[in-house]
Amino acid sequence: MTIQVSTVPEVGNSGVQGTIDRAAYLTALLNLRPALTENLAWLQLIRDQATSRVQELAIPSTREEEWRFTDLSALLQVNFAIANRSPAVRLADIQPFLLPEAANSRLVFVNGNYAPELSAIAHLPSDLVVTNLETVSQDSALRDRLTNYLATQPGFEEVFTALNTASFTDAAVILVPRNQAIATPLHLLFVSTAEDAAQLSQPRCLVIAESNSTLTFIEDYVSLGQGVYFTNPVTEIWLEGNAQINHTRIQRDHTAAFHIGKTAVSQTRDSRYTCTAISLGAVLSRHNLEIYQMGEQTETTLSGLTMIAGEQVADTHSAIAYTKPHGTSQQIHKCIVDHRAHAIFNGKVFVPKSAQLTDARQLSKNLLLSAKARVDTKPQLEITADNVKCTHGATVSQLDTDEVFYLQSRGIDEYSARKLLVYAFAYEVISQIPIPSLQNQLTAIVRTQKARQDN
């Protein structure tokens, strides 16, 4: 399904182009990158290397296997400008998105730029690093430590990842010292404010959990404006020996927005990574989630929920790459698709000969609420090891009429019965989020789902 920009009334004065060369369009996006300040000059080499990579690439088309279900033509129709670096955003404006559990552990970025007046980090432990790159630049020892991690994850050559690396001027930075268990969840809130002109922002996150440390954090993308914008975020996560991270990623951009995000995770021996990813917003979105198990006895747990309607397109591409024995992973991804929306899921698991005794389980479950809703799902295992336990599966269904009838027989009207079944379908994923207030926010969104069934 091709999304026509003309169906998005918020485009306004952003401009519509005809057929455009995909390499030229990517170059135009690259040319929007802002200059570095003097304090951040140490990033120049990283950005230059990524720039060279971008100059060899083009915006992907549906002729490429990894993008064959996701047409980026609508993105190519919009002329973007660099996002406003200093919009007038007050604490009251973001109040609906704040989490009581993270009232004193919050980093806020507006259009990709750090907003210290909206953040709250003063009462965090002194040895816990929760800051932005500009502040890191003032500490040469810390800067040198971070250089070993920043922009070094596998997969850095992917086109949108490289574009972000070539362009970013700031980042959220979290470094948990060894042997530290951080009980308070950290909230990384990324706010977009586009109104009239279409805007481009490219947020960045760097999260490092040193050995024997524990961290829970929320990565949250929201909008205050009603205009068209393109968010191209990259998050790099590193888990050292026996570290544990619980990561919740929420994408609830405005429905006129474009969102293409990357999460790259490297795990060493005995580490445990849990990710719950929720995709609700944007007219076109994609999340590339890549896990690299670099040590023995690593554990990965992934839960995903996509809930879309109207003309939305939402794509999730995940990959779990084993390299050592005794690794485990469990993944479930659910899609709820209504109206003419289109969901895509592609989940890969790579098990080479060096990864004997692997236990990998993957399941894709999809619920279509309309006769015109569409889902393309492809669980995929690539195994060359001969002593493993690996399973995968996929289901696509509509609401069960027998289940609806059963609830009606208990005095529940048909509309409420459908809503209840949709909620039950989504709750398996939402319940994995360890933040009660965020669970409640998302539950309220799910309960507003129309839950109808076209014939």
- Residue 39 scores a pLDDT above 50: yes
- Specify the residue for token string 């965090």: 124
**Structural domain range at position 74:** 5-294
- Residue 225 scores a pLDDT above 90: no
Indicate whether 383 belongs to any domain. Answer: no
Indicate whether 85 belongs to any domain. Answer: yes
Q: What pLDDT is recorded for position 16?
A: 39
* Torsion region of 137: left, alpha or beta (phi above 0 gives left; psi -120 to 50 gives alpha): alpha
- Residue 9 scores a pLDDT above 80: no
Indicate whether 397 belongs to any domain. Answer: no
Q: What pLDDT is recorded for position 450?
A: 54
Query: 365-421: per-residue pLDDT in tens?
Result: 999 999 999 999 998 899 999 999 999 999 999 988 898 888 889 899 888 888 889
Indicate whether 403 belongs to any domain. Answer: no
Question: Within 13 Å, how many C-alpha atoms sit on residue 14's CB side?
Answer: 31
Is pLDDT larger for residue 87 or for residue 33?
Answer: 33
- For the chain, the domain total comes to 1
- Residue 194 scores a pLDDT above 70: yes
Q: What pLDDT is recorded for position 449?
A: 65
- Residue 111 scores a pLDDT above 60: yes
- Residue 299 scores a pLDDT above 60: yes
Indicate whether 37 belongs to any domain. Answer: yes
Q: What is the mean pLDDT of the chain?
A: 91
Q: What pLDDT is recorded for position 14?
A: 39
Indicate whether 251 belongs to any domain. Answer: yes
- State if pTM tops 0.85: yes
Q: What pLDDT is recorded for position 415?
A: 87
Indicate whether 199 belongs to any domain. Answer: yes
Q: What pLDDT is recorded for position 255?
A: 93
Q: At what angle do helices 159-167 and 44-54 cross, to 10 degrees?
A: 140
- Residue 446 scores a pLDDT above 90: no
Is pLDDT larger for residue 274 or for residue 83?
Answer: 274
What is the rounded CA–CA span in Å between residue 27 and residue 11?
22
Q: What pLDDT is recorded for position 126?
A: 86
Indicate whether 242 belongs to any domain. Answer: yes
Q: What pLDDT is recorded for position 19?
A: 60
Neighbours of 60 (CB within 10 A): 19
